[in-house]
Amino acid sequence: MAELPTEISIVTLNCWGLKYISKLRRERLTEIGRQLAIADPQPQIVALQECFCHEDYLTIRRETRYILPYGKFYFAGAFGGGLAILSKWPIEESTMFRYPLNGRPTAFWRGDWYVGKGVACAKIRYGPGPKHIIEVFNTHTHAPYESGPKDSYICHRTSQSWEISKLLRGAAERGHLVLGLGDFNMLPMSLEHQIVTSHAPVRDVWRVLHPDSSVGPAHHHAEKARGRPVPTAEFNILENCATSDGPFNTWRWLPKQQKRLGIGKPEVTVDPSTPDLRGKRLDYIFAGAGDVVANGGGWVVQRTAVGMMMRHPELGCSLSDHFAVEATLKFVSLKQQHNNNNNNNNSPFSDTHQTIKPTTALLNDANNHLIQTGTYLQEPSSQGTSIAEADANTDTDDNLSYTKQLLAFNSPPPRLPPSGYDQILSLIHKYVARERSQLKWRAYHFFAWLGVSIGCLVAVWFVPRNFVAFILMLVSTLGLVGGTLDGLMSLLFFRSELRALKEYEFEILTAKALAEGKTPVIQQAGTKEAVDAGKQW
């Protein structure tokens, strides 16, 4: 295998490739493949979402075969999960993990349950060492079709954040470099976001370099509370990573505006100073540092950007209804950082020995100086930092920033406060009450239609006219079919979901106890508490 890489370039993109639904699907996804092949910097790991058609995946593979020779298309659900991973290096192992809570089959027009959403997992080997493995987790979580108190899917999305955080944490504990990529359908610093960053040793790479970026669209209550002016379209791209719903994306234009696009028509441009009220970030790259001790260094965030903003060269439309998120990770050795910092009299490393030892004690000596002002942990600045400004840093500033990132990983990740667990538990209990009600009423519906169907069949014997008998048979058949479906939902789906919610609640209660410094208590079989808990479900 070639020498170890010192940088890893990553791209994640929601392709909007729904068969029969997404417009100009084949043309757009073919161009996505072409743009990946000529991208600069050249991507080495690419995560795709909503790439539902295998033929589109093969098209992208064909376009990128020289730079991304390895890939995996993941099969899940009745119509496919839409997830794919492309890689410069061999994929040694792959798994499709399905979320225990993922929508409802009754909402067939939304499709989340039918595509079997989950996490596409891949182990990618980039070197010969036992720790030279990248574990990639690509996901597309449940869409937020509702908002505010009426959002009945918020329990699903917090559960999905919880599940992927466990996968990320497990990979990090194995000493591998961890990447969590995808369309998470969440806003920065939301409860779902905090679950990921507090229960897995990973960073939101955009907030590493842009700690003052927005926490939602301009009209969102959390963003309004920050008291910031309405951002421009350009600022939302450069500072806020607005990958969705912004004015630069033609698929968010009004139908009248979209008619100005097409083959042979002049290019339609967008003024960068256009106010952007709706642009928001739904797509993320979460990254770990790898095993700093075993590898003699770790991976830090060197660059982030919003990508795939170009238009189709002939059709004039955006390549997807989302833009991509790009990031470059750089490997920084502790010895290199020690030598660089020794040249700075203010460095906490200046009094250490020439031969650095990657120990916890050594890193702790620097915590007081650097962690307090570290890129990852610092307080938001009053002025945002653009990509251009980040790229213009001097080598000395870069080295200091990299040191801060490594030191931040030496500190425990910020824990979700007990109030956060209480909020999750409240969501669980509210959703359990809803599902129990649905289970009961759908069972009633089944038995009611069973009775009606039997009554219609008996009535057929006594009606004098054939058309009346036909109507009774039709009502009996259609009603019994609908009632049977509801009966199966009551017997199978809702009972299964309630059990998944019970497991979810137990895990949250355990995590809350640990966060409060208590010993988790597991109920013993046969006790009164266990019996009472079982009755609640």
Question: Quick one: which of 74, 155, 143 has its CA closest to 113?
Answer: 143
- On whether the CB atoms of residues 243 and 322 are closer than 8 A, the answer is yes
Burial class of 9 by CB neighbour count within 10 A (0 to 12, 13 to 18, 19+): buried
Kindly write down the DSSP assignment for every residue of 453-480, as one continuous string: HHHHHHHHTT-SSHHHHHHHHHHHHHHH
Using DSSP's 3-state secondary structure scheme, residue 1 falls into coil
For tokens 């410094």, name the residue. 517
The two structure tokens encoding residue 213: 């970026």
Whether the bond into 41 is cis, omega within 30 of 0: yes
| Pairing, β 7-17 against β 297-307 | unpaired
What is the spatial distance between Cα 116 and Cα 102, in angstroms, rounded to a whole number?
Answer: 7
What are the Cα distances from residue 380, in Å, to 226, 346, 373, 374, 390? 11, 24, 11, 11, 15
Respond yes or no: is residue 322 known to be catalytic: yes
Residues 6 or more apart from 69 whose CB is under 8 A from it?
A: 88
What is the spatial distance between Cα 180 and Cα 481, in angstroms, rounded to a whole number?
Answer: 43
The two structure tokens encoding residue 458: 């008996």
Q: Which of 142, 176, 312, 322 is catalytic?
A: 322
Using DSSP's 3-state secondary structure scheme, residue 56 falls into helix
What is the spatial distance between Cα 105 and Cα 312, in angstroms, rounded to a whole number?
Answer: 36
* Other C-beta atoms lying within 10 Å of the C-beta of residue 357: 12
Give the 3-state secondary structure percentages of the chain, helix then strand then coil, rounded to 5.
40, 15, 40
| Pairing, β 203-204 against β 297-307 | unpaired
Using DSSP's 3-state secondary structure scheme, residue 133 falls into strand
What is the spatial distance between Cα 448 and Cα 442, in angstroms, rounded to a whole number?
Answer: 10
What is the spatial distance between Cα 230 and Cα 216, in angstroms, rounded to a whole number?
Answer: 11
What is the spatial distance between Cα 531 and Cα 166, in angstroms, rounded to a whole number?
Answer: 29
Residues annotated as part of the active site: 322
